[in-house]
Every structure is written in C-alpha cells, then in structure tokens.
Structure 1
C-alpha cells in the first residue's frame, strides 16, 4: 500500500440514521488516514440487488429512496442465511477499512469484538429531512442501535459544515494518537 501509516484500530465503524452524515465522515476519514478504504456493508447488498434487478449501482444511488425497501429486504434475506452474512464479507477484505453503515447490534458487536473504533453520528430528524427523503425509518436497520451508548466517539451533526469538519478532524487526531 505504499506510504501507509500504521493505525490502531484498523477497522473504523460508523453508525447513524439516514442522512446523519455517515458517508461524509467516512469520505473525510479515508482522505486523512492513508491506507484506509471505505467499504460500506450496503455495497455488497447493493451489488447483489443490482444484479438481481438488472440495474447499475449508479441507478440505485441516484434513486436510493425508491430502492431502499428492496435493499432492506435483500439485507434481511442475507442475515437470515447467517446473521453476520454481510459484515463477514466486508471484514474479509484485506487492509484498514472504514465501514460507513453499521446498522444492527450484531454488526456492532462483531466489530466491537474485532477491536474496531466505533463512531455514532446523531442528527435531529428535522435536520436529516432537509438533507434527503427519509423512508423506512422504523425498520430495525434504522433503529436497532438507538439504545447503544458505549460508542468510542459520538458526533452530533446538526450544525454547519465547518463544525462537522472540526469534529471529523478531532476524530482523525484521536485515531492517530492510538497508533
């Protein structure tokens, strides 16, 4: 991987509700932590869904709200085969990683036992609704982690981009101090 710095942990998990800023934080982290790659759990689900429905990943991304119920159903199917079906696929990918969509307690627990650094993003529903169309918010994939309190870092993202970026910079500093 070239000029990769060594970080502890090598797995970072990000959780939060729809439009809380999970992808924005993951993108910031991979830009500022050399060698890390963004690997969302949903990526494996989206790829399988696209193949089943003759879609491209770009089409799914362009209309996430339309496809979200089907993606949730496919995710549930995989977890019926093995509760850790999707997370195991991601953890098997070599190298340091940022998992940008930790949604379920089993995923959280598996990452916790894998010594991951776990981040929770919080944002008021009204703020999230301004950012995008909120759907299926009562599904377990949206609320299963609401009562978890032992995150390594909790970031409240109700403010400006500048405030968000300062918090993200703080997280990078903490992660570097662990290495």
Structure 2
C-alpha cells in the first residue's frame, strides 16, 4: 500500500496564495464548463488537474487506444479491440480496481502531490481539479484549504445518451456529501451559468 500523503500540518492553500478549487458533479453536469469559466473570468493563470489523468493513461496503454479518445465523450463510447466494454466503462472498472486493491487514495496522491509541493514553496499558484468524484478526494481538497464546488444539472441531456453505468460508485459516492462550499444549479443557459460563477465562486477567490 502506498504511504499516506501528508496533509495534516501542511500550510493552508488559501493562506499561502496557492489557491485550490475542486469541482464535483455527475456526468453531464458541466464540471469542465465551470472550470473553464473560472479560468476565463478570473483572468489569472491556472493549472488544471484531474484525478483521472493517470487512469486514462493506464487505460489507453492497456487497450492500445489513443489517449485523446479516453477524454472525449464520443471516444469513451468506443469498444477497443479485444474488450466487451467501452473505454468509459473500462475507466470505471480499472479506477475502482486500483482503489480497492492498491490504495483507496492512489489517484489522490499522484494528483495532489504537485499542489502540496507548491504549498511548501513560494509564489502564487492556482489549481483547479475538475473531476472530484469520491469522498476521499473531496476531503483531501478541503483539508488542503481548497474550495469544493458541486455542480448539479444536465443541460445538454448527456446522461440519457451515454452508455456508462450511471449508478456506478464514481457517479454516486458524493450524492450524500453535505460539506460542499458552493452548490451551483446548472439548469439554464451558459450566460446564466457564467453569472452564477461570478457571484458564488469568484467572490471567494479574491
């Protein structure tokens, strides 16, 4: 098992001008859209992190598929040669297998190591994690002084068109998480979502 990533005793991300934002939401809720709006509206340089980046690289190597296909909605619906499951389903299965048999925090540790390193140094840095799906991921972000956002909605009707298991734990684990710092209801237009981000997110980042 991997050693526990040190969190307790690490200086607060907000206090040290290393801003950290985590975004949670179900498939199609608009997590990446909110991430893009934060970066655009804030106007400063941000680094985007994803807990699933390493996972997608693993599945890409395992299935001999293009890495970019493991990111797009269309690509995730492809069934690679030799597999009965789509790339999206394989990501769910492989991700959970490593969480179960290696370390529940495996994806958290490899992703947030850069943030912890930045917190121990000098200078202003800003990070946004756009795919918070599990309680341990949410807690790590908040323990590091980060802001945790929940995005609800499916304005483009993505879930009805996607073949992945919508009851998979990666889609449901945060349904009963009651400690989000900000909850955004993404049920309107892009312009309305942009205004919500300005009002409830950017005011916390100043």
Task: Quote the residue 2:195 is aligned against.
Answer: 166
* Residue 136 to residue 8, structure 1, CA distance change in 2 (3 Å): farther
How far residue 12 of structure 1 moved from its aligned partner, in angstroms, is: 0.5
TM-score, scaled relative to structure 2 = 0.74
Match of 2:176 among 141, 147, 152: 147
Query: Which aligned runs of 4 or more in structure 1 are off by greater than 3 angstroms?
Result: 6-9, 124-130
**Between structures 1 and 2, the one with greater helix share:** 1
Q: 1:135 to 1:40 in 2, by over 3 A?
A: same
1:98 aligns with 2:128: yes
TM-score calculated relative to the size of structure 1: 0.85
Deviation at 1:171, TM superposition (A): 3.9
| 1:41 alignment partner, SS class | coil
**Cα shift at 1:16:** 0.4
State the partner residue of 2:45: 35
- Residue 74 of structure 1, CA deviation: 1.2
Q: State the SS of the aligned residue for 1:15.
A: strand
Q: Choose 1 or 2 for highest CA Rg.
A: 2
* Residue matched to 2:76: 64
In the comparison of the two structures, how many residue pairs are matched? 171
- Structure 1 residues 79 and 91: CA distance shift in structure 2, 3 A: same
CA RMSD, Structure 1 to Structure 2 (Å): 2.3
Aligned pair partner of 2:148 in 118, 124, 131: 118
Q: Are the equivalent residues in 1 in contact too, given 2:150–2:180 (CA < 8 A)?
A: yes
Asked if structure 2 preserves the Cα contact closer than 8 Å seen for 1:30 and 1:37, the reply is no
In structure 2, relative to structure 1, the CA distance for the partners of 1:134 and 1:175 (3 Å cut) is farther
Report Cα offsets for 1:28-74 as digits up to 9, x if no partner. 22233423111111111111111111111222224223311100111
Deviation at 1:109, TM superposition (A): 1.4
- Structure 2 unaligned segments of length 5 or more: list them: 1-14, 78-85, 116-124
Deviations 1:7-32 (A, max 9, x none): 85621100000000001111222233
Which stretch has the larger CA shift, 23-32 or 101-110? Answer: 23-32
Q: Distance in 2 between matches of 1:161 and 1:38?
A: 21
2:82 aligns to what?
Answer: none
- Give the CA deviation at 1:89: 0.9
Q: Which moved more, 1:139-148 or 1:89-98?
A: 89-98
